[in-house]
Amino acid sequence: MNFDESEDEIPLMPPTTMPLTIVIIGAGPAGLLLAHYLLQRGKYTVEIYERRPDPRLTDVSQDRTFPISLQERGRKAIRMIPGLEEAIAAESVFCQGTIVYQGKKQARRIAREQPILSIDRNRLVMVLLQQLMAQYSSEQFKIHFGCACIQVDGLGKTVTLQPDTGDAFTVAYDGLVGADGARSQIRDYLVQQSGLQCDQQYIADAYKSVFLQRCRGDVELEPDKIHTCNFDNKTRMIMVPQPGDRLNGVIIFNAEQNPIEGLSTPEAILAFFQQNFPQFGQLMTLEEAEAFLHRPVGRVLAVRCDRFHDDHAVLLLGDSAHAVSPSIGQGCNASLEDVLVLGRLLETYDDDWNQALPAFSQQRLPDAHALRELSDYSFPRNKLLVIEFFLRLTAGRLLHQWFPQWFKPFVFDLILDTDLPYSQVLTLSQAWINKVKRSSPAL
């Protein structure tokens, strides 16, 4: 990937009465929600470029999707666009809690004070896109699929795209937003040409997607609960209800100790799940075992940056800025909250990106770094600490209910049931986080 830069300085966002053109790289939830926010302000035209195929025209393979749990901080961001939360809810399932299966022991139930909105990632993208197409003209909003970013000229304010077919082309922008995920090309530009400091590393866990029917034969799992099961300290499953009595989820395991690596037939896959995850194995068909066998293993790249912008109207958003482990389900919620924060800053500074972008980095950086700690160390792997985790969760709820002015909820409830900034959650939970960290040096 080539990047052009010179030593001359130009204004970040020159004054103009014309609509500002914002180019967004990446058509995931964060990029699409940002388009909603900008177009609602009436001062922008928006162009989105996405390297993947158009989901409206392609039979998107299930191996590229996974369930997302939208909590208050993510839903609050969506709620700022009239009618959008209702449209997403119509394609979602409200989950009232979690059931943790423990082999032959009685399952543990964890109720939620606030329901979680569960939706498939691709379904969420489709709703956001459909709402954009329905509300805005082609003069206001354009989206192009099958276009990879190959070059950024920060001073010239142009970006070059390579379509799947045909020649590369260049477009001009007033502002460029990288919402292109953990392996962001826009972040690469900032690292190479703008001095951005960025730490990237794969987390220890890997995963494979699993898709089941919620009911099969005499087996039926509750339709409004997230279902989880631990095989051992390094292997677990999370299955989330979806519309149409489906369960979408993942099996998570240590990347260096893949328990399914030596399984080569659908029958062996089916036997593995039936033996080690009996609640889910009874729901698995031979056809799903066959499909599972051929799905790729996914790895999660965690990202930590020292800022999220440069002085030439370039901004990182969502996973491109702060990708984290999915262990506490905050990746999408944090990305959507990024959009809410940016929207408020654009309002505060009257769409002056000279002021809004540095303010965004200043405000979001502490929360992004705190989220990394919370994602890595909120839930323990040590068996004794797992027991302590559930005791603290139960006791924390009771004490907060009886003495709310003196006792805050435990870390998971602070994350899932409130929109308290991640940095404050970390401060309130630092003793627990440190305890988990000491017990899991490998993390």
Please indicate, yes or no, whether residues 27 and 153 belong to a single structural domain of this protein: yes
Q: Predicted confidence band at 357 (pLDDT cuts at 50, 70, 90)?
A: very high
Picking from 324, 356, 375, the residue at the C-terminal end of a domain is 375
User: Averaged over 371-388, what is the pLDDT?
Assistant: 84
When comparing pLDDT for 416 and 51, which is higher?
Answer: 51
Please indicate, yes or no, whether residues 279 and 367 belong to a single structural domain of this protein: no
Please indicate, yes or no, whether residues 9 and 136 belong to a single structural domain of this protein: yes
Q: What is the pTM of this model?
A: 0.90
Please indicate, yes or no, whether residues 62 and 207 belong to a single structural domain of this protein: no
Counted domains in the chain: 3
Please indicate, yes or no, whether residues 67 and 211 belong to a single structural domain of this protein: no
Please indicate, yes or no, whether residues 220 and 197 belong to a single structural domain of this protein: no
Please indicate, yes or no, whether residues 36 and 60 belong to a single structural domain of this protein: yes
Could you read off the pLDDT of 389-422 as tens digits, one per residue?
878 888 877 877 787 777 788 888 888 888 899 9
Could you read off the pLDDT of 65-124 as tens digits, one per residue?
778 999 999 999 999 999 999 999 999 999 998 998 987 778 888 888 788 999 988 889
Picking from 299, 321, 354, the residue at the C-terminal end of a domain is 299
Q: Predicted confidence band at 6 (pLDDT cuts at 50, 70, 90)?
A: very low
Please indicate, yes or no, whether residues 137 and 57 belong to a single structural domain of this protein: yes
Per the DSSP assignment, residues forming a β-bridge with 69 are: 118
Residue 157 has pLDDT above 60, yes or no: yes
Could you read off the pLDDT of 282-326 as tens digits, one per residue?
999 999 999 999 998 988 899 999 999 999 899 999 999 999 988
Mean of all residue pLDDT scores within the chain: 89
Please indicate, yes or no, whether residues 294 and 316 belong to a single structural domain of this protein: no
Please indicate, yes or no, whether residues 245 and 342 belong to a single structural domain of this protein: no
CATH number at residue 107: 3.30.9.40
Residue 3 has pLDDT above 60, yes or no: no
Please indicate, yes or no, whether residues 384 and 407 belong to a single structural domain of this protein: yes
Which residues in 318-332 are b (16+ Cβ under 10 Å) and which e?
Answer: bbbbbbbbbbbbbbb
Residue 10 has pLDDT above 60, yes or no: no
pLDDT of the residue at 17:
64
Picking from 333, 358, 375, the residue at the C-terminal end of a domain is 375
Please indicate, yes or no, whether residues 225 and 275 belong to a single structural domain of this protein: yes
CATH number at residue 134: 3.50.50.60
Residue 267 has pLDDT above 80, yes or no: yes
Range of the domain at 415: 379-439
